[in-house]
A and B are shown apart, each in its own frame.
Chain A
Amino acid sequence: MMKDLRFRDRAKAEELARLIARLAPEEPVKLVHVCGTHEVTITEFGLRSLLPPQVEILEGPGCPVCVTPVKHIDEAVALAEQGHIVATFGDMARVPGTHQSLEDARSAGADVRIVYSVADAVELARKTDREVVFFAVGFETTAPTVAAAMLDGVPENFSLLVSHKLIPPAMAALVQGEHDISGFLAPGHVSTIIGMEPYKIFPERFGVPVVIGGFEPLDILYSIALLLRQLRKGEPKVENAYTRAVRPEGNLKAQAILAEVFEVTDHYWRGMGPIPGSGLKLREEFAAHDARERFGLEVESNEALHPGCRCAQVITAKARPDQCPLFQKACTPRTPYGPCMVGEEGMCHIWARYGGRPKL
């Protein structure tokens, strides 16, 4: 059950690969997933080498750290510079803001803490008189944990710098207007929370098939086969290939907790721009714990990517990392130029971590 090796069975993978080859149409197929964890499995297990050449799978905006606007990073840095404790998840601290990253601020003496869970940040606030600000990033999987912590009760000196984002509106932004996306491999653990319903617009309005997939190699190959079968039949729909973790309705309790604490708002996505209804903000009742209200933040930010950086194309599934002139030359995990190389779930970072351009 832990690492169920039956989900990594080589013979079965080869069988699924042969099926994929047979189901694939002759024309190019571009499948898009939106999850760094999917990209890790695809790259680590070399699944692209099992796909026929006309079937391509790209990441899209699946790395929350990569799409976090510079403005929010600048706000976090400003709070740290004001002398407050800023707590956040690991790779968020490394993303450069307009002037510096949270890690730079820490080197200059600011108190920046890396935590595993929002619960750790709340615990930290209980043990100090200082202000503790949790820089809350992440998609629908993570946001309910933060909402639950708020409902559980937080000390007066605890506040949130909210940068939570919603996945379906970002997927919709990819298929509005002209696009060449043949199907979506929907993120398993976001779907654990939201269920199947929010994806129905893709087959119904955009004619794009959706399969919710798990994270083992066979889960992904199976999901790709289902997407190709939908394309072949010309009947786009939402299918759930990850039934062991995703109920059709999702996790209703988590959805209710999320809605009690947060409301939907427009959000800016780095590399994509503003997307309506794609982010969360704290409801009025929690304004006392909203770091932006509490500390009256005003920052001047520059959202531009480094010249030559193709992260915007990578995030919108218009380019592979190796099509960027900087990839693995100037831009490496140690010397990242763009957010796709900083974020551990960025496609550039993952390809670099597993040895540069995968041999296909």
Chain B
Amino acid sequence: MCLAIPSRVTEVSESEALVDHGGVKKRVKLDLLDESVKVGDYLLIHTGFAIQRIPPEEAEETLRLFDELLRAAFDDEGPPLPGSS
């Protein structure tokens, strides 16, 4: 029920946007967003409403945090695990 799909904005009107998720186009409502939306933005879509804009650089940041945790754990909490690099 709380499934939300990141989708790319292809058109924006006043209170709605047209988004594309892997070729599926859908009109979504922007009522719940507190910031303006432009073509090319990624939005998190839940039951026809955008609930959050997702900055693409945040995905990179998350991947960086995964690596940081792995590195920190190896540095601070004992020797590296077998097979890790």
**Which A positions have Cβ atoms within 8 angstroms of B?**
1-4, 6-7, 12, 14-16, 18-19, 22-23, 35-37, 63-65, 89, 116-120, 137-139, 141-142, 144-145, 148, 151-152, 187-190, 192-193, 214, 218-219, 222, 225-226, 229, 241-247, 251-254, 257, 345
A254 and B32 CA atoms in complex are apart in Å by 5
Please give 7 more A-B residue pairs, beta carbons under 8 A apart, in addition to A117-B47, A142-B46, A244-B59. Answer: A2-B22, A23-B73, A138-B1, A142-B47, A148-B32, A222-B66, A257-B31
Q: Count B-side interface residues using an 8 Å CB cutoff.
A: 40
Q: Pick the residue among A36, A241, A244 that contacts B58 (CB under 8 A).
A: A244
Given contacts A64-B1, A192-B4, contact A148 B49 (CB under 8 A): yes
Q: What A residues does B2 contact at CB under 8 A?
A: 35-37, 138-139, 141-142, 187-190
Contact A141 B4 (CB under 8 A): yes
Q: Please tell me which one of the listed residues B21, B48, B51, B78 contacts residue A251 in the complex, with CB atoms under 8 A apart.
A: B51
29 contacts across the A-B interface (CB closer than 8 A): A3-B22, A14-B83, A16-B70, A35-B2, A65-B1, A116-B48, A117-B49, A119-B48, A120-B48, A138-B2, A141-B46, A144-B32, A144-B49, A144-B51, A145-B49, A148-B31, A192-B4, A193-B51, A222-B69, A225-B69, A225-B73, A241-B65, A244-B61, A244-B62, A245-B4, A245-B52, A245-B54, A251-B32, A253-B33
Is the pair A222, B65 in contact by a Cβ cutoff of 8 Å? yes
Q: Which residues of A contact B32 (CB under 8 A)?
A: 144-145, 148, 251, 253-254, 257
Are B81 and A18 interface neighbours, CB within 8 A? yes
Write the chain A residue with the least CB distance to B85: A15
Q: Is the CB of B4 within 8 A of A189?
A: yes
Q: Which of B2-56 touch A at CB < 8 Å?
A: 2-4, 6-8, 21-22, 29, 31-34, 42, 44, 46-49, 51-52, 54-56
Cα–Cα, bound, A37→B44 (Å): 15
Q: Which of B3, B56, B70 contacts A19 (CB 8 A)?
A: B70
On whether the beta carbons of A192 and B48 are closer than 8 Å, the reply is: no
- Is A19's CB under 8 angstroms from B51's CB? no
State the CA gap A277–B77 with chains docked (Å): 42
